[in-house]
Amino acid sequence: MRPVERILVATDFSPDAALALAAAGEAAAPVGAEVIVLHVDDDARAAPLSSAAIARRDHARRELERARSDLAGRNVAVRTLLRPGDPAREILRMALSQEAGMIVIASHGRAGSSALLLGSVADRVVRHARLPVLLVRHPDRFVSEPTSLRAGRRIAEDEDDDADPDRGEADFYIRTSGAAEPSADASPALRTRASEA
C-alpha cells in the first residue's frame, strides 16, 4: 500500500470541523503528506454575487487562511480551496482532481445547516468516495448507533470494566472498501464494538 501523499479535509469552520482539521494535520505530519483544506460554499449562484455572498466568501477566505497558517505552523504542507456548489459533490470531485489519498471530514457540521451533517454531506461522501474516508466525531456529539453496535458496546463494557466510552476524545471512523472501521486511535471500547458487529 502506497503512503498517502495528499489528504483532503473538508471544513465548514465549525468546532467539529476543527477536530477534523486537527486529525488531518496529525495524519499528515509523520508521513510528510500535504493537506488540502476545502470549504464548499453551498450557494452556487453565478455572478454577479450578492453583497451577502461576497461577505460570506470573504469570511471563508479568512478562515481558510487561518487554517492554512495553523497547519503550516506545525510544519505541514498545506493548500486551501474555496469552491461553490453542492458540498458532497465538490468534496468528492476535488478529492479526485487533487489526487488525494484520503478524505477527512467531520461527522457533523454547523447546526441548522445542510453542510456536513451525518446522513447528509458526510454520509454521501462516505458512501460514494473511491478512497479512504476518515470520519471524525466530536466527543460531545451523540450519534445513534445501530442495534448491533449497541450490543457490542454492552459486551465490551462487561468484559473491560476499565473501558470508558465517555473519555472525552474524538472517535475516528475510517471507511475503506465500503466498511466503516474504527481507527487505531479510537477508544478500546469502540474498536471492540466494531469487531463484535
Q: Which domains does the chain have, with CATH numbers?
A: 6-142 (3.40.50.620), 144-171+180-197 (no CATH)
**Predicted local confidence at residue 91, as pLDDT:** 96
CA–CA distance, 11 with 196 (Å, rounded to integer):
32
Low-confidence ranges of the chain (pLDDT < 50): 111-119, 147-169, 171, 173, 175-183, 185-197
**Predicted local confidence at residue 144, as pLDDT:** 56
**Predicted local confidence at residue 167, as pLDDT:** 42
Reported as a single tens digit per residue, the pLDDT across 136-166 is 887 776 555 554 444 444 444 444 444 444 4
**Predicted local confidence at residue 46, as pLDDT:** 64
**Predicted local confidence at residue 149, as pLDDT:** 46
| CA separation, residue 10 to residues 164, 166, 187, 194 (Å) | 29, 26, 24, 25
Cα torsion 181, 183, 184, 187 to 10°: value is -90
Global confidence as pTM? 0.69
**Predicted local confidence at residue 141, as pLDDT:** 60
**Predicted local confidence at residue 178, as pLDDT:** 41
**Predicted local confidence at residue 1, as pLDDT:** 61
**Predicted local confidence at residue 27, as pLDDT:** 93
| CA separation, residue 141 to residues 10, 63, 144 (Å) | 18, 23, 10
Count other Cβ atoms within 10 Å, centred on residue 48. Answer: 8
CA–CA distance, 12 with 64 (Å, rounded to integer):
10
